[in-house]
Amino acid sequence: MPLYELYKDADFIQVYTSLLGFPVINIKFEDSENSQNRIAKFDTGIGGKFFVEYKAIDVPELEEMVQENTLDLKGRFLHNFDILDLFEDDPWESENLIVNNFDARLSFWEGGMNFLQTHFTTTVLFDFAYIEGAEVSFNGSQFEDCSEISFNETSFNNVQRIVFSSTHFNSSNLNFTNANFNSTQLYFNSINAHNTDILFKNIDFSRVASTFSRTTIDKSIVFDNIIFSTIAEMEFSSVESIMFDNCTINGKIKLDGIQHTLSFMNSRGDGQIYLDWCSNNVKLKIANAYKVINIKKDRLNAIAADYLYLKNNYKRINDDKDEDLAHFEYSKVKTKLMRLGLKKSFNILMSLVCGYGTSIYRALYAIILTILVFGTIFSLKILNLNYTFDLSCFFNTPWKNVFSYILNSFYFSLTSFFSLTHYSSINSDLQLIKTLSTIEGIFGIILIAIFTVVLTRNLLRNYKD
């Protein structure tokens, strides 16, 4: 059984990283012969048992590193780490601490960690670190020009709270890939991230409650292949771009403050997403997300998939208004994808007449417009409509005959629309009038049926339990 002792040498990290390419199972930690160190025992997918010893670090060594503004903690064991403990004589001096390079890859942290108001630059690496304890805190810290802030393959074991609240990121990249959070609360409250990309990838958030309230991100935050099963409060003050790619959403997400880009590419699940369609201009934000797709058909299909996903989501949370808006945009995009023909023409007509079944007002406007258009046609002198329903007695002006004629035309259009006209009452030999009246009657039957369906749908919604 090979014994690996992790010290601060970069050569060994390559060996250990290669070893972690295999699944690590049944990991256990215990004291070594040197009581200050820790030993990790685990099995791997390649068979056999392995031991890794984390060498403890003492305060004088840490203080020496702090003096050099560099913390090299690769493969080290730290117990109840608090950055303020290094400044017991003058706690305020900790605010002037600048860590130019921080390397804690493969490290072991027992009892949590606290980097209160610490200033990091260049790189911050926690790859393959194992952290356990009540709290991990970077509260009030600053990350300036960090090309890499990496928590790849980091394990947070029995950590109750992970706090990045009131943290400032500038020109940095924050990366959580394959991190293991177990059951914890993740706080990203009141963060100001300028020119910074944030990535969460291949993570199970089933037991992670996350909060991003009052946070400003002027670039992007991406959730790639994440499982959401609890509550995620993402009511940002402002976020330029947020992407949920290949995610499984079975929990509850409260989302707000989106400025430019939103996508749910290949996401699924029966969770609840609370996102106001109008105030976040979701239609435009989703369209912006797929501008990078050059092939129009593929771009429209991707947009339609997101609209459909949100439509079904709004239906689950009984948000009828936003469900209708999402359904309308989804149907409009699907219509664009159709080949020119009868079906596409019918869909275009349905869009104009009733908003694909979502708008009772459009259906009402279509009825009124049809009556007015045909009434105007019937009022043309060339048709010489002489309708026997005489209304001239209602007018006592020199123009009473004109008013009576026009009103007769619109009244005739109204009766034609509702299929109430008796052709025996028309004093005209023109077949054209009878033909137009029949056409309007057909339109009337169709539009009344559409209006009735849309009205019934709205009434059933209003009176459902």
pLDDT digits (tens, 9 = 90+) for 384-402: 655 555 555 544 545 456 6
Quickly list DSSP for 345-409.
Answer: HHHHHHHHHHTTTT-HHHHHHHHHHHHHHHHHHHT-GGG---BS---GGG--STTHHHHHHHHHH
User: Which residues make Cβ contacts (< 8 Å) with residue 164, sequence separation at least 6?
Assistant: 138, 139, 141, 187, 188, 191
Q: Which of 63-67, 292-296, 405-409, 411-415 has the highest mean pLDDT?
A: 292-296
How much is the pLDDT for 19?
47
417 vs 244: which has the higher pLDDT: 244
Instruction: Give the mean pLDDT of 325-350.
Output: 91
| Helix 360-378 with 431-462: angle, nearest 10 deg | 170
Q: Is the pLDDT of residue 288 over 90?
A: yes
Asked if 112 contacts 91 with a C-beta cutoff of 8 angstroms, the reply is no
**Residues 209, 182: Cα–Cα separation, whole Å:** 11
Nearest to 157 by CA among 121, 108, 120: 108
pLDDT in tens, 29-55: 556 555 566 656 555 555 555 556 677
Of 371 and 63, more confident: 371
User: What pLDDT score does 41 carry?
Assistant: 55
The 10s digit of each residue's pLDDT in 73-123 is: 888 888 888 887 777 655 555 566 788 889 998 888 888 899 988 899 999
In the numeric block, the tokens 């025996």 are attached to 424
Find out whether 160 and 186 touch, Cβ atoms under 8 Å: no
List phi, psi (to 5°) of 359: -120, 110
Look at 3-17, 102-116, 283-297, 411-425 and tell me which has the smallest mean pLDDT: 3-17
Residue 245's pLDDT is what?
96
pLDDT, tens digit (0-9, with 9 covering 90-100), for 164-191? 999 999 999 999 999 998 889 999 999 9
Q: For residues 165 and 215, what is the distance between their CA atoms, to the nearest angstrom?
A: 9
Q: Over the stretch 210-220, which tens digit does the pLDDT of each residue have?
A: 999 899 999 99
Identify the helix (H) or strand (E) that includes residue 49.
Answer: strand 49-56
- Tell which wins on pLDDT, 26 or 216: 216
Band (314; pLDDT cuts 50, 70, 90)? very high
158: left (phi over 0), alpha (psi -120 to 50) or beta: left
Q: Whole-angstrom Cα distance, residue 357 to residue 374?
A: 24
In this structure, the strands spanning 216-228 and 161-163 are unpaired
Token reading at 446: 């169709």
Q: Which residue has the tokens 């009556």?
A: 371
Closest of 430, 418, 423, 427 to residue 370, by C-alpha? 418
Going from N- to C-terminal start, the domains of the chain cover: 95-341, 360-462
Is the model more confident about 17 or about 329?
329
Plot region of 13 (φ>0 → left; ψ -120 to 50 → alpha; else → beta): alpha
- Arithmetic mean of pLDDT, 322-326: 94
Q: What is the pLDDT of residue 21?
A: 47
What is the average per-residue pLDDT within 189-212?
A: 93
Tell the burial category of 363 from Cβ atoms under 10 Å away from its Cβ (0-12, 13-18, 19+): buried
Q: CB under 8 Å to 420, separation ≥6 — which residues?
A: none
Model confidence band, residue 369 (pLDDT cutoffs 50, 70, 90): very high
CA dihedral (289, 294, 300, 304) positive or negative: negative
- Segment among 97-106, 158-167, 281-290 with least mean pLDDT: 97-106
Which stretch of 180-189, 223-232, 329-338, 377-386 has the lowest confidence by average pLDDT?
377-386
pLDDT mean across residues, the chain: 82
Is residue 11 pLDDT above 50, yes or no? no
The whole model's pTM is what?
0.81
Distance, CA of 113 to CA of 5 (rounded, Å): 23
- 429 by Cβ neighbours in 10 Å (0-12 / 13-18 / 19+) ranks as exposed
pLDDT value of position 357: 86
